Chain A
Amino acid sequence: TQLLEQSPQFLSIQEGENLTVYCNSSSVFSSLQWYRQEPGEGPVLLVTVVTGGEVKKLKRLTFQFGDARKDSSLHITAAQPGDTGLYLCAGFRNNAGNMLTFGGGTRLMVKP
């Protein structure tokens, strides 16, 4: 069982649809990050959320940190084929050394 559970693991949608990806844990994180990874490349940081209840927007992507800082969500509005990729959440805990804990990832495919 992973410390950070992401759902769904796979998502295939049509261009223009909305979607939400979830990242859940029973542990509290001091910050949580979202990354996107394309085939053959390393993960690229999208956003960091640090305050419970915080909402950040990045164009059509909306990120939310849960009030208790145990979970997060990523919502994409009007998905486009360019959004296709692997989305990873990662949490940082103050009492766990300088290490990030990664979720298993959500693989998104947006069909034109």
Chain B
Amino acid sequence: DAGITQSPRHKVTETGTPVTLRCHQTENHRYMYWYRQDPGHGLRLIHYSYGVKDTDKGEVSDGYSVSRSKTEDFLLTLESATSSQTSVYFCAIMANPGNEQYFGPGTRLTVT
């Protein structure tokens, strides 16, 4: 158990509304990641963080922003949700560079 929680676990929102997903870890890991998972695409990296206030873009970052003001929290924001952002979102941590990643339980987001 890597001590990762995500909130909310499920959310339905309307097109054009802002949405923020939260990832919380209890073990002080430096690296945190946000992925989305869609049928036929596997897991795709949205953004990641390598420390407080240090973030970088992943493969599918358009339409998403992130913030990390504390080691334990990594927030993913959809500024104006679109139907193409309907997906399951996973947060993950990596204990050290090159090590394995451990995933949270996921957030299922539906944009209507």
Contacts and interface: CB of A to CB of B under 8 A. Distances in A.
A45 B56 contact: no
Most chain A beta-carbon neighbours within 10 Å: one of B35, B48, B98: B98
B101 A41 contact: no
Contact of B103 (A43, A94, A97, A98): A43
B58 A99 contact: yes
Contact of B42 (A42, A99, A102): A102
Given A41-B106, A42-B106, A100 B40 contact: no
Contacts, number: 52
Which size bracket describes the interface of A in this complex?
Answer: 20 to 34
A42 B103 contact: yes
Contacts of A94: 98
B100 A41 contact: no
B101 A100 contact: yes
A97 B58 CA distance: 10
Interface string A40-51: 111111001000
Given A99-B45, A104-B40, A104-B41, A42 B90 contact: yes
A87 B33 CA distance: 20
Interface string B58-92: 10000000000000000000000000000000101
A24 interface: no
Most chain B beta-carbon neighbours within 10 Å: one of A98, A103, A104: A98
Interface of A: 2, 6, 30-31, 33, 40-45, 48, 88, 90, 92, 94, 97-100, 102-105
Leading 10 A-B pairs by shortest Cβ distance? A42-B103, A104-B42, A102-B43, A102-B42, A98-B97, A45-B100, A105-B42, A43-B103, A42-B90, A42-B106
